[in-house]
Structure formats: C-alpha cells, structure tokens
Structure 1
Amino acid sequence: MDIVNTKFLLGSLAVLLFVLLLTSSKYPLAETSEARYAEISREMLVSGDFLHPQLLGIYHYHKPPMTYWITVAGYKLFGVNEFGSRFFLQIAVICQVVLVFLLGKLLYNDKRVGVLSALTYLAFPIVLISSRNLTTDAYLTTFIMASVFFWLKHFKTGNPLYLYAFFIAMAASIVTKGPVSLIFIISFVVLFRYYHKVGLKLTWNHVLGFLMFLLLASGWFIYLILEDSKLLDYFVVDQLAHRISSDSFNRGKPFWFYIPVVLGLLLPWVLLLIFRNKKVLKEFEIQTSDKALLMASVLVFVVFSLFKTKLLMYLLPMFWMLALLIGHQLTRISKLNVKVLINVVLGITLLVALVPILLSWLKPNFIASSGILRALVLAVILLASVVAYVFRNALQTKLVLQFMVFIVSTLAMAQVVLMQNPHLSNSVKPMLAKINELDQSRNDKDTILVYDYLLSSAPFYSNLKTITLHYDHNTSERDLQFQHSEEWKNGLVDLKNENDVFRLAPMCANGNTYMLVRRKKPIAEEFSFLNKSFSHHIDYPNWILYYN
C-alpha cells in the first residue's frame, strides 16, 4: 500500500492543524522574545495606533509592524490570550508545508517529490519550534516561500499576475523583518537563473511590479522617518549595520556557531550521509534545480555565518530549500537506505518520548513528571511500534508514517512538558496568577515593580501598571530617543537617578504594590530598602514575589 500521495498529505495537514491549534494555548508565553511580541501587539490593540509599536509605554521600533498586525488580528478573533497570539503562527506553518509541496511539484514536475519534501520539512525541529513561539520568523519564512513560489510560477507560465504577487509577497517579507529577507529570495532567484542559463528580460510588468514593491515595502519606514528624521539612522545603522557587524543585543556568536546547529537540525539525514556516505552519494541524482537549491542554501549559510549577530531561528527561511533537496533524493535512494532512515526516525521518536521521563527521575526539581506525561510516552511507543509492524513491507509508507508519529509526538510531548513546567520557558504566569488572586480590590494605584529586567508578560497577564526598575541589566535599558513627552517615566525608574529612587518609597508602602525579583539577580545592597518594604514573599523557581 502506497500512501505517498496528495490525499495523504492533505489528511496529514488536517491532523497537524488540529494538533497545532489544540496545543497552542496550553503553555504560557515565554520570556523574553515571545512575551515581547505578544505585549506589543496587545498595546497596539488597546491604543489603536498601528504605526507606532510600543512596549510598556515606550516606542519600540526594533522590527517592522507586520507580526504585530497579524497578532492583533488574532486577538480580535479570539481575545487577548495565548491562543489569540499564536493562532496565525499555526496557519503560517501549514501554509509553509503547502508551499513546499507546490514548489516540489513545480521544480521537479513530480507530486511524490512534493509530498516527501513537505513531510521532510514538517519533521525539521526548527519548523515545529517556530510554531510554538511568537516571533517574526514563521511569518517571514511564509512570505519568503510565497514570493519564491510566485516567481517560479511566473517563470514557468509567463502570467504577469504571478509576477505582481511575487513583488507583493516580497514587500510583505520586508514589512515583517526588514531587508534581510532579500538575501534568501535573491540568492535563489539569481542561482536558479544561472543554473538554468536563463537571462533576465525586463518588461513593463517588471517595472510596475518593482515600483509597487518599493511603495509597499518602504511605506511604513518612510512615514516614520518623515515624522522623526532620527529614525533613518536608527533603521540603517542600529537595526541593520550593527546587527551585521557588532554584538548587537548580546547576540554575538563565533563564525562556526551555525555549523553544529544546522547539523543537529538536519537529523536524521546527516547520520545517513555520515555512516553510509559512499552508498548514498552514488544514488544521488543532482539536477539543475538541485544545484540552485544547494548553492542558494550554502550562500545563505555563509552570509549569515559572517554576520556577527546570530540566533537559531535566523536560518529558518533556508530549510524549505533543504527539504526540497532531501525530498527529491528520497525518491531515488535504495530500500536499504530507506530502512536505515526508518530506524533512525524511530530511534529519535523514542528518544524524544523518553528524555522527559528520564530527566524527571534524574532532575526532579528541573522537570516534573505526571500521569499524563507517562501515559503519553506509552502511547507514542505503542503507536510507533504498530506502524513499524503493520507496514513492515511497505518501506516508503512506513517512513512517511514514522515521520508523522515523530511530528505529532514531539508536539504533544513539548506541550505537556511546557504546560506542567512553565519555568522552562522562563514564564511568570504562575506569579501573575498569584498577584491576580491577591489583588481583589483593584484601583489605579495597583502596580507591579520588576527589578532590573524587562518583563513584557507582566501587564499581559495582570493588566496592571508595570514599572521596570533599571539598574544595569541590558534588557531593562530602554531606548528613549523617540519619546516626545515624559509619560515614559510612568513605566521606567532609573535606580542610578536619585530623584527616580525617591519616587519608589511611597509606591512600596502601598498595599497594592508587588515586586518581582529574579533569583539569579538579587537586589543590590544599596537598594535593600526595596525588599524590606514588603512584609511577605513567595519563592518561585526563577523569581521571588514580594507583597504586603
């Protein structure tokens, strides 16, 4: 029985969407990135200002607004909660899988390549991670893939509508994360033309499409720069040049940082190449499209390795190209190598299932076990075993089904572990729930003080006024150059400023003031009056909550 077909892919996507949506609200917002995007979007919804993103009342222009706009749409549909903040992330991932399938069909004229590439893409851990954590990366990747798809459709059909769609999608990628998206798009387009030996023939549609792209991509930036000319230098130097050449936001990494990261994310394919490299390479059939995908991936990898600032998710928009390469070769490798892949996928699936249980035994203070977790582990083992036995003679089918078991089990395990161990994502939701419980009679003076840390999820979960007490931590040092009034002082206190410190005494004396302090960053001795102002405290794994 061969199930490697479009119907199976559609059924898999339906199951996946159900699991993604079901699990997207079962764990709290992670600090700092996810909580920051969620809170900026909440403040945008409350203020009605969709052009000037704010974080805790201070303008925050680190990223263009597309992610915030999409998240606000989620809030309007489902309310201000985890599900609303992450809903469109799940839709974005499903769109990416569909686009991989369509790109596979376009590049290789083979639905089977499209199906295998789509399932391969889904099985990449980095793709599942992007669906669990609200950042720009999932949306950026979707727009990049859409632009490449529309460009290929225009390349093959000549229909100008696809060309305009290409420019619109490319503009959307820039309004999501800036011009960095062009690295992925241009790398593929140029190398695809080079290897297919096709030159560029400009038409009026190209000119009009490009002008439309410029207008859509630059509109938000130009509007803000016309309001405040300092933003031109901020966008070009601080947010672009410094991220490339300096240790921006303490994210500087060595050149080789991405090498072990990508090798780990390419499991189990890397193991097949390492241990069976000669036999596997003999089976490879490198077509022109493979060369374009491979060299574009290498070029992107080298460029991002040269950048000083590095994060895991920066390379997410590269993995659709790798998925297509792998999917194409999966249709050609021998039965023996398919068996090796099946065993490796099965082994990784069982490892994913067993690691949380082992950690709960070895490090019970780090991760808590439960009956739900143990039952889920047994279900994963049983399901993987049933697939291995029932489809023992249908290797391609068994490989595809083991992929699905791996994907669904990984999502389910991650959801259960994060739900029962919120400290693993540095979440403060349990503390905020306690504050909501203590703060029954609310008034305008109710305040949460956060010592030397930018805690974006505090107002998200409590809806209380949140004041950051800045001392020397990089997250609590806010950029105030674009503030046009003194209102920012309502949410930020500089502990090195005596006048600001003087304002704290009456706040701490208020019975409806709460203070959060990270355990690994105790209050400096010179400000010990802060915690002494509170009569009670509760210890959490990563934080201490003070209250009266």
Structure 2
Amino acid sequence: MISPFNGLMRYLRQENESLMRDLGLLAIVFGTLFFQGLGALPLIDPDEGRYIEIPREMLLRHDFVTPMLNGVKYFEKPPLHYWLNALSLTLFGENEFAARFAGTLCGLLTVLVTYYLGRRLMGRRVGLYAALILGSTGGFLVQARINFTDMTLSFLLTCAFGCFALAQREEERQKGLWYYLFYISMGLAVLAKGLIGIVLPGAVIFLYLLFTKRWRLLAEMRLFTGGLLFFAVCAPWFVLVSLRNPEFPQFFFIHEHFQRFLTKVHHRYQPIWFFVPVLLATLLPWSPLIPAALKRGWTERRGTGATLFLVLWAVVIFAFFSKSSSKLIPYILPVFPPLALLIGAWLERGSSPRSMRWHAVGVGTLLLALGTAAIAYPLTFPKPEIGLPEGVLVGGLFLCQGVAALISGFRGEPVRFLATMAITAYFFCLIAPPVIYARVVPDVANKEFSQAINQKAGKEVRIACYSGYEQGIAFYTHRRVIVVGDPDELTFGRDQGGHAEWFLDFDAFHKLWDSGTPLFTTIKQRDLPKLEANVKTPITVVTKVGRRLLVSNRPVETGQVPANQ
C-alpha cells in the first residue's frame, strides 16, 4: 500500500497528468487555504477600510467614474479594484468577507495562472512545483487575504507577462490570441494601478528583445491592433473622469506617478536595499533558494527564452521598486510568480543531490533560527506585539519546518524536499496567521469603535477623528467623519472646495467641542492631554481599543466616565 506522502511524490513526478485535474486540485487545496475564515476578523486599517469605503460610496451615489472617500474626491488609484469590490458588496453584502473576496480571488487565480504558465513553458512538473511554492508562501497568502490593490495588479501583470511569454514562442500556433490577451491584461493592469501596468511589461519586453536580439517579434506583436485594444480597455475611464474632473490629470499622472517615484512627497521613503529583507521574509520558506534559481535561469538564457524572460520579469520589477522613492511591502508582489517558476525549474532540473543537501541545510538552519527567535521574542521584549502562547505556536511551527527541511533534504531528492516543505508551509499558513491576526488586528481596527457609535450615538451626533482619519469608521457606521488636523491623503479632495465643515484645525474643533454640538471622537491616548487642556466641556470615554479611545462631549448611556481613568 502506498503511503499518502509517497503517493504525493509520485503525483508530483508525473509529466502527463490532466491539465484540468491539476487545476481542480490546486483550486480546492489552495482555495481552502486562501478563503478559510476570510471574514472572521474586522477590517485592517488603513488599507482595508479605504478600499471598501470607496466602492460603498460608489454604490451609494450610483457613480462609478469619480472615486470618493469620506465624501471627497480620491484620485490616488484607478477604479478597477473599486469596481470589483463594489460587485462583491452587491453579491455578499457589507461585511469583511465581501471586502476581501476580490483580492483573495486574484491571489488564488495567480497561483493557477502560474501553474498554467509553467506547464506550457517548461513542462507539467515545473508548473506544479511553482504553484505549490507560490501557494504555500506565507507572505503571498497573507497579502492575498488583505483588501488592497496590489494583489489585483499582481494577478493582471502575471496574466500580461504570461500571455507574452506564450505568444513569443516560435512553435506557438495561437500567437494572435495570446498577444491580444496580453494587451487586454495590460489595459486592465493600468485600470488597477496606473501607468506601471504598461511601464513594467514594456521595460521587461524591451530588455528581453535586447538580450535575445529578436527584434522581429515587434512585427508579430500586433502593435497597432493590440494598441487599439489596450486603449479600448483602459482609456474610456480616463477620458470620462478627466471630463468630469479637470483637476484629475495633473494630480493622477504627475503627483501620483512621477512625484511618487522620484521624490519623497508621499513620506514612504526607504533605503534602496529595503526590499531585500522584505523578499527574504515574505517568500519563506523558499527564499533561500532564490540565488540558485536566478543563477540557473541566467545560465540557461541561451538555451531557452523562457528562463531569461522569467529572470528579467523578476529582476526588472524588483529593481524598479527598489529605485523608487516610495516603498511599501506589497509593491514587490508581482515578482513572486516568476521567482516561484524559477525555483520550480531549479528543483525540477537544475539541482544536484549535493546542491540540494546544502540548500536544505540553509533553509533548515534559517527556519530553526526563526523558530528560536519567535519563542524568545515575547520573553525578551518589554512590550511585545504578541504574547507567549502565540510566540510558542509560531516558533514551534518554524522549528518543525526547520527539522523537516533538514530531514527531507538529507537524501538530496528535490521532489521529497519540495513535498515536505510544501506540506509544512501549508499548515504553517493555515494555523499561524489567524492566531497572530486575532491578537494584533483588534487593536488597529475600528469595528469596536463603530459598534459603540452605532449603539450609542443618535443621528444628531457628529463623528470626528482627532488623531488622523480612521478609515473603517465611515464603512461600518455609514456616516461621514470630521477630520481634525492633517487630512493627509484627503488633502486633495478637501482642497476642491465645499468641505470646510468636515476638515477642521485643532482650534476650530476645540470650539466645536464646547459649542454644544454632540460629538463622538476617536483619539490616540497620547493626544488626550492636548484635548483636555483646550476644552471646557467634560470628556467622556465611551470605549478604549489598544492605545486609542472613543470619547464624547456628553454623557453616554453607561454614565459619564472621566477621561483620565
């Protein structure tokens, strides 16, 4: 009788398994992982609150052209992700599952597209290995389950790069189909996050043509008809939004693209090496294999165009965002699929038993060190973000993975190592993130504040944010919020006029507090003394979440509570 593990290895070694069967099994296995408990936790601000409130306001106003947030124009991103979330809200209602559904679906589809691309370019085993690697990567899973635009962009860029990679093959019989799908995918990527939807594919393809000297591909790329199709997909919205909002082009193209890339105007500057440790951490447990996979892909560049294209896909995007003056962790999500394919190709045909053993030792040692550090963290840091039980759980899972890597790599068999690490990584992703989220997320979410507002604040009560705009409150309460002090990302919308009563400086708000107008206000605990020193009306603490308070200038149903208690 064959054991389940040996059955899995035999399945992984097969080259001619049905395409539909593989896709179905991958969809079930990773669909379970990606969607389990998706709506269990409150929205994680600021991103999740922002990217679900905008589509909620679209549905409320029946206007899908001009994005608005808290009642003001918001042009930092194009609308595709908002449209997908609006559809999700329509299908599933206003809840956390609906807020995350579109992005999570894009994450799952990225795994499936990666499998299909690997199968077509380098064989079934490489495609299957890459899908297992990508789907069991903790950093990819975590970001797929958060509502923001980057996973939608990553899926569409994967489709665009994949369609070009298939179309450019000499033996491809459906070149026209793949090229046209390439242009459609780029158009949708532009609608998802702007000009990088065409800049990144353009840069990678240019370098690919330069290295391979296959300039003749330009003649077969359907540049004219494909360009028309690209503009037919993305241009209508840009034209409509510009006609309705003449201020849009300057803000979106200059401020949100060129200034974001070239300057520190968005206050997201990080050193050029920032994404190196980010990639190492987010691609665990597979990240120690990246150097060997890239090296192998580069050495094979003359034998097959596929590996060179994958190397350029990963390196160009990584270098582009490393050079940018604005950096956030999700920006490098589009490099995950090509790296998964390169690692899968290295495991399938590029790793000798000796090399496999050494890399397994490296992976195992790193995971053992991380496990030890995770257990020690809550014991040694004065104010740890997680408690000892969570530290022991995460650390124990890392230790199990480390031991599994050392044992499975001892024989130098890549398939055994892959199967073992994929299984342990899968269970790590299944167990660890929900436990960590349950401990950390409530302290940064606004659901508890919103529930208190809905229960205790009548329609005559105005809601304010004293310490920066709290994104999720408008979504949960269906109320517009007064922003006190720096409006930050709402500055552009505020400056369009007609919103003076919703954006107050501190002096104006202090006067409003003492005017008799009933207020419920969110405030950071460190800012409470400032409010106390500048108002006369007693401050009532309604509830407290982490280091933030919900306060009011009138007694609440439970009785007035002094603010300093």
Alignment match of 2:353 (pick from 322, 325, 335): 335
Question: Please, which runs of 5 or more residues in structure 2 have no aligned partner?
Answer: 1-5, 556-565
What is the distance in 2 between the residues matched to 1:272 and 1:289?
19
What's the CA shift for 1:407? 3.4
Match of 1:157 in 2: 173
User: What secondary structure sits across from 2:11 in the alignment?
Assistant: coil
Partner amino acid for 2:117?
Answer: L
Q: In the alignment, is residue 505 of structure 1 matched against residue 524 of structure 2?
A: no
Question: Partner residue of 2:142?
Answer: 129
Specify whether residues 71 and 346 from structure 1 end up closer, same or farther in structure 2 by C-alpha distance, changes over 3 A only.
farther
Q: Does residue 148 of structure 1 match 2:161?
A: yes
The superposition leaves residues 367-391 of structure 1 with CA deviations (integer Å, 9 ceiling, x where unpaired) of 4559899789878877997998899
Larger displacement relative to structure 2 (139-148 or 390-399): 390-399
Q: Structure 1's 350 and 20: CA in aligned 2 closer, same or farther, altered over 3 A?
A: farther
Which residue of structure 2 lines up, in the alignment, with residue 542 of structure 1? 547
Shift of the alpha carbon at 1:356?
5.8
- Of 49-58 and 112-121, more deviation after overlay is shown by 112-121
Deviations 1:307-357 (A, max 9, x none): 211222112112222222222111120223334444555566667777665
1:394-448 per-residue CA deviation (whole Å, 9 max, x = no partner) reads 6513422322321341343111211233256x223233334444x1xx6321332
Match of 1:50 among 64, 68, 78: 64
2:11 counterpart letter in structure 1 = I
Residue 270 of structure 1: how far off its partner (Å) = 5.5
Out of 1, 19, 23, the residue aligned to residue 37 of structure 2 is 23
What one-letter code is carried by the residue in structure 2 that aligns with 1:172? L
Q: C-alpha displacement at 1:15, in angstroms?
A: 2.1
* Residue number in structure 2 paired with 1:3: 11
Equivalent residues in 2 for 1:461-480 (5 A)? 461-470=476-485, 472=486, 474=488, 477=491, 479-480=493-494
* Secondary structure in 2 matching 1:544: strand
The residue that corresponds to 1:172 in the other structure is: 188
Residue 412 of structure 1 aligns to which amino acid in structure 2? Answer: I
CA 435–443 in structure 1, closer or farther in 2 if over 3 Å, else same: closer
Distance 1:371 1:362 in 2: 14
Quote the residue 2:248 is aligned against. Answer: 231
Say which of 456, 464, 472 aligns to 1:457.
472
Query: 1:492 maps to which residue?
Result: 503
Of residues 418, 430, 442 in structure 2, which corresponds to 1:399?
418
Conservation of the 8 A alpha-carbon contact between 1:126 and 1:265 = yes
TM-score normalised by length of structure 2: 0.82
Which letter maps to 2:525?
A: R
Cα 1:264–1:10 shift into 2, 3 Å: same
Q: CA deviation at 1:232?
A: 1.9
AA in 2 matched with 1:157: R
Per the TM alignment, residue 68 of structure 1 is displaced from its structure 2 partner at its CA by 0.6
Q: What does 1:252-401 correspond to in 2, within 5 Å?
A: 252-267=269-284, 271=288, 285-286=300-301, 287=303, 288-331=305-348, 332-342=350-360, 345=363, 358-362=376-380, 366-367=384-385, 369=387, 395-401=414-420
- Whether the 8 Å contact between 1:519 and 1:543 is mirrored in structure 2 is yes
Partner secondary structure for residue 482 of structure 2: strand
In 2, the alpha carbon distance for the partners of 1:473 and 1:229 equals: 22
Q: Does 1:186 align with 2:202?
A: yes
**How far apart are 1:225 and its partner, in Å?**
1.5
- Name the CA distance, whole Å, in 2 between partners of 1:398 and 1:507: 68
Shift of 1:56: 0.8
Relative to structure 1, the CA distance from residue 546 to residue 204 in structure 2 (aligned partners, 3 Å threshold; closer, same or farther) is: closer
Which residue, 432, 436, 440 being the options, matches 1:417? 436
CA distance in 2, matches of 1:273, 1:234: 38
Distance in 2 of aligned mates of 1:489 and 1:282: 57
Distance 1:166 1:523, change over 3 A: farther
Residue 477 of structure 2 aligns with an amino acid whose one-letter code is S
Q: Please show how residues 187-226 of structure 1 align to structure 2 within 5 Å.
A: 187-198=203-214, 199-202=216-219, 205-226=222-243
- Partner SS for 1:325: helix
The residue matched to 1:16 in structure 2 has which SS? helix
Q: What TM-score, normalized to structure 1?
A: 0.85
d(CA) in 2 for partners of 1:296, 1:213: 20
Deviation of the 1:44 alpha carbon? 1.7
For the residue of structure 2 that corresponds to 1:524, the secondary structure is helix
CA distance in 2, matches of 1:282, 1:33: 36
Whole-Å separation in 2 of the counterparts to 1:194 and 1:19: 41
Deviation at 1:50, TM superposition (A): 1.1
Cα distance in structure 2, aligned partners of 1:420 and 1:301: 32
What is the CA–CA distance in structure 1 between the aligned matches of 2:187 and 2:263, rounded to whole Å? 27
Match of residue 517 from structure 1: 523
Q: CA deviation at 1:205?
A: 4.8
Which stretch of the first structure deviates more once superposed, 533-542 or 3-12? 3-12
More displaced, 53-62 or 318-327? 318-327
The change in CA–CA distance for 1:419 and 1:176 in structure 2 (over 3 A counts) is same
CA contact (8 A) 2:405 2:417 kept: yes
- Structure 1's 49 and 373: CA in aligned 2 closer, same or farther, altered over 3 A? farther
Instruction: Tell me what 1:92 maps to.
Output: 106
Separation in 2, partners of 1:46, 1:39: 10
What SS does structure 2 have at the residue aligned with 1:121?
helix
Secondary structure of residue in 1 paired with 2:36 = helix
Distance 1:258 1:543 in 2: 31
Aligned-partner Cα distance in 1 for 2:479–2:218 = 58
1:377–1:258 CA distance, 2 compared to 1 (3 A): closer
C-alpha distance in 2 between matches for 1:10 and 1:390: 27
Percent same amino acid at aligned positions?
22
Question: Is 2:91 the counterpart of 1:77?
Answer: yes
Are the structure 2 counterparts of residues 416 and 135 from structure 1 closer, same or farther at C-alpha, using a change threshold of 3 Å? same
Aligned to 1:250: 267
* In structure 1, distance between residues paired with 2:468 and 2:375: 33
C-alpha distance in 1 between matches for 2:340 and 2:176: 28
Establish whether residue 529 from structure 1 lines up as the match of residue 535 from structure 2: yes
Name the SS of the counterpart of 2:484 in structure 1.
strand
- Determine helix, strand or coil for the equivalent of 1:517: strand
Alpha-carbon contact 1:373-1:413 (below 8 Å) kept: no
Aligned length: 530
CA distance in 1, matches of 2:37, 2:399: 20
- Against the structure 1 CA distance between its residues 402 and 232, is the aligned structure 2 distance closer, same or farther, given a 3 Å change threshold? same
Which amino acid in 2 is paired with 1:22? Q
Q: What corresponds to 2:562 in structure 1?
A: none
Q: Which amino acid aligns with 1:492?
A: F
Matched, 1:431 2:437: no
Partner in structure 1 of residue 126 of structure 2: 113
The answer on whether the counterparts of 2:409 and 2:417 sit within 8 Å (CA) in structure 1 is: yes
Task: Supply the distance in 2 between the matched residues of 1:363 and 1:491 (Cα, whole angstroms).
Answer: 41
Larger mean CA deviation between 316-325 and 9-18 belongs to 9-18
Query: How big is the shift at 1:258?
Result: 2.7
Matched residues in 2 for 1:10 and 1:376: separation?
30
Q: Which moved more, 1:195-204 or 1:330-339?
A: 195-204
Separation in 2 of the partners of 1:31 and 1:418? 13
User: Matched residues in 2 for 1:443 and 1:367: separation?
Assistant: 35
Q: Which has the higher contact order (CA 8 A, sep 6+)?
A: 1
Output the amino acid matched with 1:450. C
**Residues 34 and 350 of structure 1: is their aligned pair in 2 closer, same or farther, counting only changes over 3 Å?**
farther
Deviation at 1:167, TM superposition (A): 1.3
